[in-house]
Amino acid sequence: MTTPSQTVGPYLAIGLPWDDGPTVVPEGTPGAVWIRGVVTDGERNPVPDAMIETWQADPQGRFDHPDDPRGRVEGFRGFGRCPTKPDGSYAILTLLPGTIPGEGGATQAPHIDVSVFARGLLNRVVTRVYFPENTAANAADPVLKSVPADRRGTLVAEKTEDGYRFDVRLQGEAETVFFDV
């Protein structure tokens, strides 16, 4: 029987951050983009003691994992981890994921799975980042389509000069869509 989840508490910063956590690929990697954002609470205050984790496919839509039925492709870590700063901000340097097979022969638009941990979160919350330039793929994506239309926008990052902006609003107006996995 599964062990219950508990909060990371206020001191996760002593235990979980890694020096190379925010860089899924090393700085200077061709094509790498920064995904930056701010985590805020129900009063729009920054959450300075949160941590963002990301998990994604490589640019070809493949995973470095034996359960990828097309075969494991090694070399792309696919995982990022960044604690938030006092202003609630985080930043992850990565390559854009490719299109990913979905159910019944459908495809999924490129996306990154995100876990958010913080004091006051007794369990992680899970969301997804989609990318604004993939208009057609996003419109056809089975997960995005399952989200009420007026909330879908919270899952689509904004284009910026060095990558994308993806804010996480834990509660309240324009609350980010969180998933039950």
Partner 1 sequence: MAAPTSNKLILPRYRRDPEGTHPPLDSPGYRSTGLRHPKQPLVLLPQMLTEVTGPLLGPGRIGEQDNDLTRQHAEEPQGQRILVHGRLLDGDGRGIPDSLIEIWQANAGGRYRHIGDNWPAPLDPNFDGVGRTITDSAGRYEFTTIKPGAYPWKNHDNAWRPAHIHFSVFGQAFTQRLVTQMYFPDDPLFFQDPIFNSIPDEKARQRMISRFDYSRTTDHWALGFEFDIVVRGREASVFEDEEDE
In this complex, which beta carbon is closest to partner 1, that of residue 69 or of residue 161? 69
170 lies in the site for partner 1, by CB under 8 A:
yes
Q: How far apart are CA 47 and CA 34, in angstroms?
A: 20
178 lies in the site for partner 1, by CB under 8 A:
yes
Instruction: Identify which of 91, 74, 86 has the alpha carbon closest to the alpha carbon of residue 21.
Output: 91
Angle at 178 between CA 32 and CA 4, to 5 degrees: 105
161 lies in the site for partner 1, by CB under 8 A:
no
167 lies in the site for partner 1, by CB under 8 A:
no
150 lies in the site for partner 1, by CB under 8 A:
no
Region of 27-35, 94-102, 158-166 interacting with partner 1 (CB under 8 A)? 94-102
Q: How far are the Cα atoms of 6, 53, 116 from residue 119, in angstroms, in the given order?
A: 10, 15, 10
In this complex, which beta carbon is closest to partner 1, that of residue 15 or of residue 30? 15
Residues 2-61 binding partner 1 (CB under 8 A) are: 2-16, 18, 41-43, 45, 47, 49, 53, 55-57, 60-61
Tell me the pairing of strands 33-40 and 163-165.
parallel
Q: How far are the Cα atoms of 11, 40, 139 from residue 131, in angstroms, in the given order?
A: 32, 21, 11
For the chain, what's the residue count?
Answer: 181
Q: How far is the CB of 11 from partner 1 (least distance, A)?
A: 4
Binding mask of the shown chain, residues 116 to 135, with x at each position contacting partner 1 by CB under 8 A: -xxxxxxxxxx-x-------
In this complex, which beta carbon is closest to partner 1, that of residue 27 or of residue 67? 67
Tokens of 66: 């034996």
